[in-house]
Chains A and B, each alone.
Chain A
C-alpha cells in the first residue's frame, strides 16, 4: 500500500505541503499588504513571526489552550507593530533600517525567552479532514486542513473587501498613496500607519503561532529561516492585492514542500539544494516583476522601496 500512488505521490505531497506550508506565508504577507498599503514597509516581520511562534507556543504550554496561544501571539505581534510604527513616525528614521533592527531584536527576544520551551510537547491546533472521500492515506494526510488556513482564507477575502469598499480601507489607501493628500483631508498619516503596522504585526504573529502550534508543530530556534522575509517579497509579486497573496502563498508553500516531498519517496540527493528552492523562486519572481524604469503597477505611492 506504501507505493500505491507511485510517482503521483509527489504532486499529492506537494499539494498537501502547499496547504500546510503556505499558511504562515499567507498571514505574514496579508499583514505586510496592510502595512505597505499605508505607505510603510516593515522588514521586521521575520522577527515578529519567530517571536509570535515562541509566544504562541509558550502561552499555549502555560495555559493549556492553543487558542489563547494564538491570541497571545497576535498581541505580541501587534506590540512589535506599534513599536515599528511609533519609531518610524520620527523624523529621518528610516523604515527599512528599523525593520532590520526589529528583526534582530525579535529573534533575540524569541530565543531568549524561548529557551525553556524547547522541550515541552506541543498542543496541536485542531484541523478538519477534507479527505474522507478517499481511502488513500497520503490523500487523506494531504487534505487535513488546519482551521488557521481557513481563517487565512477568510482574512484574505476580508482584507480585499476592506480595501475595495470600506471607509477604513479607503483611509489606509489615501495615506499610502499620498501623505500630502491625507493631511489635506485632515487625516493623521502617522497614526493610521502605526495602526496599520500594528494590525499587520498581529497577523504575522498568528502566522508564527501556526508554525509552532501546528506545522512543524514545535518551537525551536530554526523554526522560520526566512519565511517572514520571503512573505515580504511575495507582497511585491502579488502587487499589494490580498487575493493574489493567497495564490502566491500557495505557490511558495508548494516550493517549500518540494524538498520534503522528494525525500518522502526516497530522493535524498541534493537535499539542501531543494531546500533552497523557495529562496530561489522568491528571487526569480522579484527579478521578473521588478523594473528599473517604470514605477510598479499597484504600488502605494509613499512606499520607500518602490520610490
Chain B
C-alpha cells in the first residue's frame, strides 16, 4: 500500500505524464511524415539508378540550386509564396474532411482579376490600389472555391471532381480574357493584359530579392493556424471534419463552416494569383497556370494540413522546383523529373497513413501515461 505511486497533480488537477509520454504523439506526427518523405526520395533514387542517372548528383544539384547560396535561397523563397497560398487552399477545406484539388483555378482567376483591374487603378496611389487589387483577386478566388463548398453542402456534388473541373473552366476563361477582351494589343508573342504601372508593382522585402507576398503568405499561415487551433470556429470545423453527422446533431452550422472554409481557402489561392501578377510577371498571361495549385496539394498533404507545417514543406518543395532548370541542363533530364519525384513522394506520404499507431515507441502508454 505504501509503495503505491501517487500520481503527480498538474495545474488543472489532472495527473501529469512524463515528458516522454507528452511528446510521444507529437513526435509520431513529425517522424512519420519525414520517414515518408525520405522513402519517396529513396524510391525516386532507385528510379534514377534504373534509368542510369546518379541520385547523388541529383540531390547535390538540388541542394546547390535550391539552398546552397544566398541567391538560390532567394529563388526558392520566391517560389514558396504561391505554394503556401495554394496549399492553404487545400489544407483549410481538408480540416472539414473535404479534398479540394482545384486551387489552380482560383490562382489563375485571381491573377486575371488583378491584371484586368490594374489599368483602371493606375491613377490611385499604391497604398490604396494594391490592397484593392489583392481584395478583388481574393474575392474572385473565394467565390470560385466557395462555390465548390456550396455545391458540396447544398447539392451533394463531389468537391474533388467539381473543383478540378472548375480549374479547367478557369483556365479556359483566362485564355479567353487574356487573348480577347483584356488583351494588350502590344503583347504580340505572348498575349497578356496591359502591363502594371510601375508604382503598382509589389516590391521586395527589405534586404532581399524576394517580394512582399512571402511575408503575407506566412502571416496567412499563422492566422489560419490560430483560426483552426484557437477559435470556436476552428474547433467546430475540426468536429465536423471528424464526424459530420455528429456535428449536425450538435447543432453546428455545418453549411456555413463548409462554405466559409472553402471560400477562405479560395481567397488565399486568389492572392497567389494576385502576387504572381503584381510582383513576378507584371501582367496577367498564360504563365499563371504554372501548376502551383497542383504542387500545393502535395505540400498540404505532406504537412498533414497543419498551416504552420506548410511553411517548411513549401520551402522544401520550392527548392526542388527552383533547381529543376539546373538539373535539366546538367543531367540531361526532362522537365517532368520534378513531377515524377513529387508523384513518388505523394504516394509515400499517403501510404504512411497506415503506420500511425503501429509503433510502440510513439505510444504514450509505453512511457507511463495514465
A binding-site residues for B, Cβ under 8 Å: 43, 87, 90-94, 96-98, 100-102, 104-112, 115, 225-226, 229-230, 232-233, 236, 270-273, 275-276, 279-280, 282-283, 286-287, 290-293, 305
Contact = CB atoms under 8 A, between A and B. Distances in A.
Contacts of B354: 90-93
Contact of B347 (A87, A273, A286, A305): A87
B38 interface: no
Contacts of A100: 99, 101, 160, 297, 346
Nearest to B157: A290
B169 A290 contact: no
Interface of A is mostly: helix
B339 A90 contact: no
Given A100-B297, A273-B172, A292-B154, A107 B339 contact: yes
B292 to A, nearest CB: 13
Contacts of B267: none
The 9 A-B pairs with the shortest beta carbon distances in the complex, nearest first, are A105-B343, A108-B339, A111-B336, A276-B172, A101-B346, A292-B156, A272-B176, A108-B340, A272-B175
A287 B343 contact: no
Contacts of A102: 343, 347
28 contacts: A43-B160, A43-B161, A93-B351, A97-B99, A100-B160, A102-B343, A102-B347, A104-B342, A105-B344, A105-B346, A109-B336, A111-B339, A112-B336, A115-B334, A225-B168, A226-B164, A233-B165, A272-B172, A276-B173, A279-B168, A283-B162, A283-B166, A286-B161, A286-B162, A287-B155, A290-B155, A292-B155, A305-B158
Contact of A286 (B153, B157, B176, B337): B157
Contact of B353 (A94, A107, A110, A287): A94
B312 interface: no
A287 B341 CA distance: 35
Contacts of B175: 272, 275
B151 interface: yes
Contact of A233 (B161, B179, B301): B161
Contacts, number: 135
Contact of B161 (A87, A90, A93, A232): A232
B119 interface: no
Interface in B170-190: 172-173, 175-176, 179-180
A52 B297 CA distance: 24
B334 A230 contact: no
Contacts of A91: 354
B156 A291 contact: yes
Given A105-B340, A112-B339, 13 more contacts: A43-B160, A91-B354, A92-B354, A109-B336, A112-B336, A225-B168, A272-B175, A272-B180, A273-B176, A279-B169, A279-B172, A283-B162, A283-B169
A101 to B, nearest CB: 4
Given A98-B350, A229-B161, A280 B180 contact: no
Contact of B350 (A97, A112, A115): A97
A287 B151 contact: yes
A241 B147 CA distance: 29
B212 interface: no
A245 B160 CA distance: 21
Given A101-B346, A104-B298, A105-B347, A112 B340 contact: yes
Interface residues of B, number: 45
B225 interface: no
Contacts of B151: 287
Given A108-B339, A286-B157, A291-B155, A279 B350 contact: no
A22 B172 CA distance: 21
Interface string B18-39: 0000000000000000000000
A229 B337 contact: no
B294 interface: yes
A225 B342 CA distance: 19
A105 B166 CA distance: 22
A270 B161 contact: no
B235 interface: no
Given A105-B343, A290-B158, A87 B176 contact: no
Nearest to A100: B101
Contact of B164 (A105, A108, A229, A287): A229
Contacts of A271: 176
A109 B337 CA distance: 8
A87 B353 CA distance: 11
Contacts of B179: 272
Contacts of B353: 92-94
A262 to B, nearest CB: 14
A104 B172 contact: no
A225 to B, nearest CB: 7
B356 interface: yes
Nearest to B295: A104
Given A225-B168, A279-B168, A94 B157 contact: no
A233 B165 CA distance: 10
B325 to A, nearest CB: 16
A100 to B, nearest CB: 6
Contacts of B162: 283, 286
